[in-house]
């Protein structure tokens, strides 16, 4: 394949390569990540949603398609994991599993599927494990994100810096951990970026004005974070068109993108989710209530266990710092430094000027006049304000003390790819400074290689930190914090939802006697089923159930270490008569999972 | 650029700086060689405690792991890493220090409190009753593993492991009840220079569910000596009653537990008379 002559095609090719490389890296990494309690549920729901399509095909064959659209026909399948989350990703996970798994479904794990297995599945067996097939769409979404980060960054900076920005968007330990799993946090990060990008393009393109509404509709079907996105966009829009208010003394026109979002967004949201169809208003109400009244799960931050909204001023202030401190302790420090440098460049930029030399911004349409169809055609689009609203919007939302913080970084992850774009601008600025030095030395060959070399150099720490963090990205903290150990010493959250037990499955499988009475703590049935379906867990391994009674009935068990689970360890001590664990899974000395055996002294 | 290089090197070398299994094995050998019954073993930072217990947990009885504090321990083994020090070992004299890779083992000796009466160890000596608003006392007899008060299932006093402030404590659990006081009286306590009393609310789910304060009143031979109010945020609070003037004497010590809002109040306490 030859290098395309057109700069636009070159950029698209680079974006494609970055996207494919992202999927490749995630495919290599995902196998070591266990199944969390949420992911197990989404895999189960995805397979069940597939069951609806299977039944629909049967019903069509029997000329009874209406049965699949009755309330009973819908709720039997789509009632799973409702009203918690809309279903675009779960449906994709289910379809991907059905299409790409290597079927061992008629074997001993046949009964562990959430829908009856009628016979051997005919598939395109791309993946050896069921879970990889479930997870594949999430990885594709990450690939799409990284490609888009490159393309947006390319509007502002030369290719090497834009590519560095794309790598820095992926090589963030917490994001990277979430990227390949069959959940919604990485996909909604992709969709937040897609909505932002579509909006950015809509400022000079009416077609993208309409497209933005469709993209937002898909975001609404991905996760509820999407409902806040218009607020962040509106903040930028008002700033961009501030002269309308300040000089012309009239409000800015409502742009096509917002009209399109208002029209297409709810339509797509409703159309994509069959569970809403039998009782639209009541069920949308249930969906909103589910999230407006969401319980505050336990979460450690700065040594405090948070499980209620703070009531006193001191705790409210500490709680407000959560997204900012967490960002500063989880994103690689070099990436943060470059993003700050990028922010300085954007702050110093004059209206209408290029962000840095070498970017490839879209030209303003000829004869640009104020228009609701292309509302950014006659004004500077304020890229600094755009990135600021997209970065600080999600962070500020999670800074409100009454919002639950149990998901940690994942809840404001949509800010991170925009932060990476700011970092790309920082890379370009760094390149410019270093190039000026090299120019003095009159070494043209060095000068030519410099942008790529610097881009590579600034990506190294992020890639190294990300590789180091796997498969325990949730427990990882950056150089400022002091890594795994520093995070633990600072009282930062260590993990949640028992993703961390996968490396202990061998220890459990090896004990053929005691593991029949195994206590699993926070590893729920859906995850156990998936481990067994994949042959990673012996089919005979038992599950003694929940809490103190489960421990009392067990011969061995594990405890995923989180601050609020201490009482569970006390139940082990009392029931097993010892404080001595049989096994501790740690990262760099920091305990993640504690294994007990009743008869070990 | 320098930052990028430093961060990269740090990421690559950090795993090498963590303690290795052989470091722990060597540290374990040191402690086992010199360990005496009644010694305390601690890890620093505290988050390394489970790894330390995996190696030496058979030397740590449950009451020691859930200790009220470290005042009674004169010999402490500290296994530390990354320059951290255990608060339990503060103020002592280091009599042995050995380095094993990323770990340091220290044996520390210090003046310990002499416990003249351990209320937890002697909890069977207690007389428990529930006193209602009119002053009527209902006795709570010892039944199996607890002092059980009549009519209200959760109205009992029991020695058990509790979780207070997300740490495990060996304590007496005494939940307050509506419009009454739970009274736990120890009739013959040998007093020292002070009584140290630790109080807290167990457990994390109850602290999430309830908000009410719990009042503890301590009286010695009928005279009020201490009043402590425990809230969700109080943690494991240690209070001290000065009994120096009566050191060596025997007295009745009475603990009264009550709350104006007793819902989900799993009050726990431990106490020692000390010199």
Same domain, B142 and B268: yes
Q: Domain of B207: which CATH number?
A: 2.60.120.260
Q: Which ipTM score applies to this complex?
A: 0.96
Same domain, A158 and A238: yes
Closest to A225 (Cα-Cα) out of A93, A327, A88, A85: A85
Computed over every residue of chain B, the mean pLDDT equals 97
Same domain, B205 and B247: yes
| Placement of tokens 């509506």 in the chain | B178
| Cβ-defined contact of B57 to A305 (cutoff 8 Å) | no
Query: pLDDT of B107-127, one tens digit each?
Result: 999 999 999 999 999 999 999
The more confident residue out of A367 and A432 is: A432
A460 in the same domain as A507: no
Choosing from B84, B109, B134, the residue where a domain stops is: B109
The answer to whether position A441 is within a domain reads: yes
**Mean pLDDT calculated for residue range A328-342:** 98
10 Å CB burial of residue A367 (0-12, 13-18, 19+) is: exposed
Strand positions, DSSP E, A327-440: none
Q: List the pLDDT tens digit at each of the 275 positions of chain B.
A: 899 999 999 999 999 999 999 999 999 999 999 999 999 999 999 999 999 999 999 999 999 999 999 999 999 999 999 999 999 999 899 999 999 999 999 999 999 999 999 999 999 999 999 999 999 999 999 999 999 999 999 999 999 999 999 999 999 999 999 999 999 999 999 999 999 999 999 999 999 999 999 999 999 999 999 999 999 999 999 999 999 999 999 999 999 999 999 999 999 999 999 99
Please give the Cα distance from A248 to A241 (Å, whole number): 10
Residue A368 binned pLDDT confidence (cut-offs 50, 70, 90): low
- The structural domain count of chain B equals 2
Q: Looking at beta carbons, which residues of chain B come within 8 Å of A574?
A: 62, 160-161
Residue range A492-506: mean pLDDT, rounded: 96
> Are residues A303 and A164 part of one domain?
yes
Q: Give dist(CA B48, CA B105) in Å, integer.
A: 14
> Same structural domain for residues A307 and A398?
yes
Pairing of strands A590-597, A556-560: antiparallel
Q: What are the pLDDT digits (tens) for A213-233?
A: 999 999 999 999 999 999 999
pLDDT, residue A1, reads: 59
Task: Answer yes or no: is A215 within a domain.
Answer: yes
Same domain? For B34 and B99 the reply is: yes
Tell me if A333 and B3 make a contact (CB, 8 A cut-off).
Answer: yes
A344 part of a folded domain = yes
pLDDT interval class at A366 (50, 70, 90): low
Give the tens place of pLDDT for each residue, B142-191. 999 999 999 999 999 999 999 999 999 999 999 999 999 999 999 999 99
Examine residue A63 and state whether it is found in any structural domain, yes or no. no
Residues B89 and B119 in one domain: no
Six-digit token pair at B69? Answer: 């504090």
Contact A501, A558 (CB under 8 A): yes
Look up the domain containing B73 and give its range: 2-109
Measured between beta carbons, which residues in chain A are less than 8 angstroms from residue B54?
580-584
Shared domain for B196 and B215, answered yes or no, is: yes
The residue out of B82, B109, B136 marking a domain boundary is: B109
Would you call the peptide bond into A528 cis, given omega within 30 degrees of 0 as the criterion?
A: no
Q: Is the pLDDT of residue A601 over 70?
A: no
Q: Of B68, B87, B109, which residue constitutes the final position of a domain?
A: B109
Nearest to A221 by CA among A145, A292, A149, A141: A141
How is residue A166 written in tokens?
Answer: 């794309």
Q: Which residue, among A238, A270, A276, has the nearest Cα to A255 in the 3D structure?
A: A238
Phi and psi angles of residue A70, each rounded to the nearest 5 degrees, phi first: -75, 160
Q: A443 and A352: one domain?
A: yes
Helices A229-240 and A185-202, packing angle to 10 deg = 30
Structure tokens at B198: 């630790």
> Looking at the complex, does the CB of residue A524 fall below 8 Å from at least one CB of chain B?
no
- Whether B62 and B121 map to the same domain: the answer is no
For residue B190, give the nearest of B125, B251, B244 by alpha carbon: B251
User: What counts of helices (H) and strands (E) characterise chain A?
Assistant: 24, 6
In this structure, what is the dihedral angle of CA atoms A25, A28, A29, A32, given to the nearest 10 degrees? 180
In this prediction, residues A580-585 reach a mean pLDDT of 98
Over the stretch A196-218, which tens digit does the pLDDT of each residue have? 999 999 999 999 999 999 999 99
Whether B104 and B125 share a structural domain: no
The encoded tokens of residue A104 equal: 């061992």
Are B79 and B177 members of one domain? no
Q: d(Cα A269, Cα B112) in Å, to the nearest integer?
A: 68
Q: Is B105 helix (H, G, I), strand (E, B) or coil?
A: strand
Rounded-to-integer distance, Cα A108 and Cα A529, Å: 12
Which residue of A457, A488, A563 is in closest CB contact with B166? A563
pLDDT at A486 over 70: yes
Q: Which of A463, A462, A552, A543 is nearest to A501 (CA)?
A: A543
Average pLDDT, chain A: 95
Interface of A with B in 528-567 (CB under 8 A): 561, 563-564, 566-567
Residues B88, B121: one domain? Answer: no
Tokens of A203: 């400022």
* Residue A131, pLDDT score: 97
Name the A residues in 335-374 with CB < 8 Å from any B CB. Answer: 337
Looking at chain A, the whole-number percentage of residues with pLDDT higher than 70 is 98
Judged by CB atoms closer than 8 Å, whether chains meet at B8 and A461 is answered as: yes
Q: Is residue A75 part of a domain?
A: no
Q: What residues of chain A lie within 8 A of the CB of B3, using their CB?
A: 333-334, 337, 461
Task: Write out the residue range of the structural domain in which residue A577 sits.
Answer: 499-597
Indicate if the pLDDT at residue A527 is higher than 90.
yes
Are residues B212 and B98 part of one domain? Answer: no
Quick count: other Cβ atoms within 10 Å of Cβ B264? 17
Residue A514 falls within a domain, yes or no? Answer: yes
Q: Are residues B132 and B267 in the same domain?
A: yes
CA-based nearest distance A25→chain B, Å? 19
- Are residues B24 and B151 part of one domain? no
Domain count, chain A: 2
| Final residue belonging to a domain, choices A425, A454, A469 | A469
Q: Which two tokens stand for residue A154?
A: 């390319």
Pairing of strands A583-587, A590-597: antiparallel
Please check whether residues A430 and A521 belong to one and the same domain.
Answer: no
Helices A130-154 & A525-533 angle (0-180, nearest 10): 100
């Amino acid at each position: 394949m030859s290098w395309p002559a057109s700069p636009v095609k070159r950029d698209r090719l680079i974006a494609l390569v970055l996207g494919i490389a992202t999927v490749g890296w995630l495919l290599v990494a995902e196998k070591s990540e266990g199944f969390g309690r949420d992911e197990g549920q989404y895999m189960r729901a995805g397979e069940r949603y597939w069951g609806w399509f299977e039944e629909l095909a049967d019903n069509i064959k029997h000329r009874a398609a209406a049965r699949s659209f009755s309330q009973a026909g819908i709720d039997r399948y789509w009632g799973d994991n409702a009203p918690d989350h809309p279903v675009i990703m779960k449906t994709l996970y289910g379809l991907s599993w059905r299409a790409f798994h290597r079927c061992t479904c008629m074997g001993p794990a046949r009964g562990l599927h959430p829908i009856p297995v009628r016979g051997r599945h005919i598939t395109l067996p791309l993946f050896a494990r069921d879970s990889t097939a479930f997870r594949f769409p999430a990885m594709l979404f990450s690939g799409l994100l990284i490609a888009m980060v490159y393309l947006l960054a390319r509007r502002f900076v030369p290719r090497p810096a834009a590519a560095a920005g794309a790598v820095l968007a992926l090589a963030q330990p917490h994001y990277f951990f979430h990227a390949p799993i069959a959940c919604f946090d990485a996909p909604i990060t992709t969709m937040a970026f897609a909505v932002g990008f579509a909006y950015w393009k809509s400022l000079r393109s009416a077609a993208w004005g309409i497209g933005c509404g469709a993209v937002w509709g898909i975001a609404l079907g991905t996760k509820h974070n999407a409902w806040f996105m218009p607020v962040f966009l509106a903040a930028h829009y008002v700033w961009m068109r501030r002269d309308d208010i300040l000089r012309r003394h009239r409000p800015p026109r409502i742009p096509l993108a917002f009209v399109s979002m208002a029209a297409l967004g709810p339509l797509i949201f409703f159309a994509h989710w069959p569970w809403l169809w039998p009782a639209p208003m009541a069920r949308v109400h249930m969906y909103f209530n589910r999230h407006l009244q969401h319980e505050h799960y336990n979460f450690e931050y700065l040594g405090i266990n948070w499980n209620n909204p703070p009531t006193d001023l001191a705790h409210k202030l500490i709680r407000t710092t959560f997204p900012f401190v967490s960002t500063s302790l989880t994103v690689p420090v070099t990436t943060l430094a470059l993003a700050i440098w990028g922010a300085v460049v954007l702050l110093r930029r004059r209206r209408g000027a290029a962000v840095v030399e070498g970017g490839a911004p879209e030209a303003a349409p000829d004869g640009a006049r104020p228009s609701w169809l292309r509302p950014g055609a006659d004004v500077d689009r304020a890229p600094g304000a755009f990135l600021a609203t997209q970065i600080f919007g999600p962070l500020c939302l999670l800074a409100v003390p009454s919002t639950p913080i149990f998901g940690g970084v994942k809840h404001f992850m949509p800010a991170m790819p925009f932060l990476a774009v700011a970092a790309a601008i920082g890379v370009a600025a760094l390149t410019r400074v270093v190039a000026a030095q090299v120019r003095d030395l009159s070494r043209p060959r060095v000068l030519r290689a410099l942008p790529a070399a610097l881009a590579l150099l600034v990506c190294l720490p992020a890639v190294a930190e990300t590789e180091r963090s796997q498969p325990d990205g949730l427990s990882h903290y950056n150089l400022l914090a002091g890594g795994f150990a520093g995070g633990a010493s600072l009282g930062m959250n260590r993990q949640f939802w028992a993703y961390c037990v996968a490396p202990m499955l061998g220890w459990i499988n090896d004990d053929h006697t005691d593991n029949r009475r195994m206590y699993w703590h926070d590893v729920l049935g859906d995850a156990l089923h998936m481990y067994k379906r994949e042959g990673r867990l012996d089919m005979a391994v038992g599950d003694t159930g929940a809490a103190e009674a489960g421990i009392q009935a067990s011969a061995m068990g594990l405890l995923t270490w989180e601050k609020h689970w201490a009482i569970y360890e006390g139940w082990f001590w009392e029931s097993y008569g010892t404080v001595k664990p049989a096994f501790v899974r740690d990262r760099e000395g920091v305990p993640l999972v504690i294994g007990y055996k009743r008869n070990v002294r | 650029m320098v930052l990028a290089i430093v961060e990269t090197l740090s990421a690559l070398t950090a795993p090498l700086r963590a303690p290795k299994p052989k470091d722990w094995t060597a540290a374990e050998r040191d402690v086992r060689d010199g360990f005496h019954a009644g010694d305390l073993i601690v890890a620093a930072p505290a988050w390394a405690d489970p790894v330390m217990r995996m190696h030496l947990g058979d030397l740590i009885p449950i009451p020691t792991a859930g200790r009220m504090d470290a005042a009674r321990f004169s010999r402490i083994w500290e296994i530390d890493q990354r320059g951290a020090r255990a608060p339990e070992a503060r103020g002592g004299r280091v009599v042995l220090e050995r380095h094993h890779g990323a770990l340091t083992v220290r044996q520390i000796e210090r003046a310990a409190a002499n416990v003249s009466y351990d209320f937890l160890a002697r909890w069977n000596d207690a007389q428990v009753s529930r006193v209602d608003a009119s002053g009527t006392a209902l006795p709570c007899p010892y039944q199996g593993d607890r002092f059980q008060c009549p009519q209200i299932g959760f109205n009992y006093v029991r020695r058990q492991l509790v979780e207070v402030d997300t740490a495990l404590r060996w304590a007496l659990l005494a939940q307050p009840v509506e419009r009454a006081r739970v009274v736990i009286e120890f009739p013959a306590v040998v007093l020292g220079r002070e009584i140290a009393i630790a109080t807290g609310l167990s457990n994390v789910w109850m602290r999430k569910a309830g908000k009410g304060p719990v009042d503890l009143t301590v009286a010695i031979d009928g005279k009020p000596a201490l009043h402590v109010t425990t809230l969700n945020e109080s943690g494991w609070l240690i209070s001290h009653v000065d009994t120096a003037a009566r050191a060596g004497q025997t007295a009745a010590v009475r603990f009264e537990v009550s709350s104006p809002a007793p819902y989900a109040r799993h009050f726990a306490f431990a106490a020692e008379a000390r010199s």
